[in-house]
Amino acid sequence: MSLEQLYLVLLAGGLVLLAGVVGTRVAHGAGLPSLLLFLALGVVVGEDGFGVDFDNAELARNLGTAALAVILVEGGLTTKWSDVRKLVAPAGVLATVGICVSLVVTAAGAHFLLGFDWQLALLLGAIVSSTDSAAVFSVLRVLPLPRRVAGLLEAESGFNDAPTVILVLLFSTTPLVVSPGPLLASLLYQLVIGVLVGLGVGWVGGVVLPRLALPASGLYPLASFGLGLVAFAASGAVQASGFIAAYLCGVVLANSGLPHRSATRSFAEGLGWLAQIGLFVLLGLLVTPSRLAVEVIPALVVGLVLLLVARPLSVVVSLVWFRIPLREQAFLSWAGLRGAVPIVLGTFPVVQGVPGSERLLDVVFVLVMVYTVVQGPSLRPAARWLGILPREATREIQVEAAPLDVLDAELLSMSVPPGSAMHAVSIRELRLPEPSVVTLVIRDGHTFVPSPETAIESGDELLIVTTFSQRQRTEQRLRAVSRKGRLARWFGERGDPA
């Protein structure tokens, strides 16, 4: 490649990146996961659009695997252990037993309804059965779900990539021979060693990094992310699951008291977005739009089996032993988003030369596109209809301000909903735990610093600074006052999550 060609490639890449960044605003406004726009951007740039010819499935698989590792490290670094600690067991069951149930039901539907041979049917079931970490993480950033629901979705999407990849690789062998004993042994080995490597690398990083006096604060986010990639590569090098190692390493690092946590999380989110944009555009380039029209009906049929039968059944079977309300199970069934992971996994059998695998990739691509359009915008209305979207909810705001990091402080935002008992309550009467304080009020588009006697009104947006140790008590007090007013404690209201 000449220097002039390098400039053209960088120019095209930069323009595509900027288009993706700007497009996230459009997708957010429409309630769609941004992946849909990135995939469409890749299709537009591809051979049936601007004419960029890309059909290297092996390169797409390798780059896609690396991008998924980055996305999982980012997901781990932005996960709070307090949100998922009690959900590890149900999430683990969803990511293993749930995957198997969904795989069998979807494969049976593809075989009996569409005539797929059993190898392609099993591959299709395995490819589309796992929820997509990138799609789920992007939705959870903007949808204020209860912590139990959000944590369960987050943990499941972080865990289920590992068993799915193992199953897809197994079903991609030719000729296909399924032996339950070796299959179970392989699954246990890859998952157990992956977990141990991820936890081990994360623990070492959590012990060493706080004791290192690095010359620049920007090196701490780099070191944290580098450890996640080390866990991924080291686990893969010993034939274990790098995906679960990367995610768990990120979780351990994020919750081990590392310095510059806010900067690390912001850096991780930036790299995660970069990986998503590059990955989805690349996958959009890989498909040939002119071949997709004939696969619309098969994709719709498989999608309906997955959405209405396989996913709900897998949720019910997995959570039957846990005290998860039925309405939350219903939302979990509907919120099983698919995205880049199924399309990346669809390249595995293509690289292995499985007969019919190119058609399989087209079916998966259409399924992801269609059901993202259906599921993405419907999540918020579905959460409201099922009654699991809390009326009073605080959202964490990621900021780059160094003083918050130094003081171990956090910035929260709360909207006062219509009909809230917080209406007409003064700032003083909130009685937030020390040292929490309401620093700013946004009312009818105007911003002002409140005094202790300022009365709160419905529709106000409150910005609250609190410490990490007092965050939970602060949120409880805000919920209690929103429900019962200034005398909430007299009514026995403690502000526990709904």
Residue 227 has pLDDT above 60, yes or no: yes
Residue 441 has pLDDT above 80, yes or no: yes
Average pLDDT over residues 455-478: 89
> Where is pLDDT greater, at 303 or 21?
303
pLDDT for 28 equals 60
Are residues 398 and 378 part of one domain? no
> Where is pLDDT greater, at 441 or 38?
441
pLDDT for 395 equals 54
Report pTM: 0.72
Residue at a domain's end among 361, 385, 409: 385
Residue 137 has pLDDT above 70, yes or no: no
Where b means 16+ CB within 10 Å and e means fewer, 283-304 reads: bbbbbbeeebeebeebbebbbe
Do the domain assignments include residue 4?
Answer: no
> What's the CATH code of the domain at 407?
3.30.70.1450
Residue 71 has pLDDT above 90, yes or no: no
Sheet holding 446-448, edge to edge: 394-396, 409-415, 461-467, 437-443, 446-448
Are residues 298 and 160 part of one domain? yes
> Where is pLDDT greater, at 393 or 173?
173
Average pLDDT over residues 264-285: 77
Least confident of 21-30, 185-194, 452-461: 21-30
User: What does R_g of the chain's alpha carbons equal in angstroms?
Assistant: 24
Average pLDDT over residues 26-48: 65
pLDDT for 404 equals 53
Quick one: what percent of the chain has pLDDT higher than 90?
A: 17
Are residues 57 and 195 part of one domain? yes
Do the domain assignments include residue 3?
Answer: no
Quick one: what percent of the chain has pLDDT higher than 70?
A: 87
Do the domain assignments include residue 477?
Answer: yes
Do the domain assignments include residue 424?
Answer: yes
Are residues 195 and 61 part of one domain? yes
Confidence of residue 141 (pLDDT cuts 50, 70, 90): low
Least confident of 4-8, 17-21, 317-321, 432-436: 17-21
pLDDT for 304 equals 92
Are residues 161 and 96 part of one domain? yes
Are residues 161 and 139 part of one domain? yes
pLDDT for 47 equals 64
Residue 399 has pLDDT above 50, yes or no: no
Do the domain assignments include residue 158?
Answer: yes
Least confident of 52-56, 389-393, 490-494: 389-393
Average pLDDT over residues 453-475: 89
pLDDT tens figures, 118-132: 889 999 999 988 887
Residue 4 has pLDDT above 50, yes or no: yes
pLDDT tens figures, 331-381: 888 887 777 778 888 888 888 888 888 888 889 888 888 887 787 778 888
Are residues 154 and 115 part of one domain? yes
Are residues 176 and 250 part of one domain? yes
> Where is pLDDT greater, at 448 or 260?
448
Are residues 418 and 297 part of one domain? no
Residue at a domain's end among 321, 355, 385: 385
Are residues 171 and 31 part of one domain? yes
pLDDT for 401 equals 43
Domain of residue 424, residue span: 394-491
pLDDT tens figures, 295-345: 889 999 998 999 899 999 999 999 888 888 888 899 888 887 777 778 888
pLDDT for 234 equals 93
Number of domains forming the structure of the chain: 2
> Where is pLDDT greater, at 37 or 152?
152
> What's the CATH code of the domain at 35?
1.20.1530.20
pLDDT for 305 equals 92
pLDDT for 80 equals 76
Least confident of 279-283, 312-316, 429-433: 279-283
> Where is pLDDT greater, at 38 or 250?
250
CA distances from 221 to 34, 205, 268 (A): 25, 12, 7
Confidence of residue 448 (pLDDT cuts 50, 70, 90): very high
Residue at a domain's end among 385, 410, 442: 385
229 — phi, psi (to 5°)?
-70, -35
Do the domain assignments include residue 302?
Answer: yes
Do the domain assignments include residue 10?
Answer: no
Q: Nearest CA to 154 among 135, 128, 168, 167?
A: 135
pLDDT tens figures, 169-191: 888 887 766 677 777 887 788 88
Are residues 153 and 46 part of one domain? yes
Do the domain assignments include residue 7?
Answer: no
Are residues 432 and 327 part of one domain? no
The mean pLDDT of the chain is 81
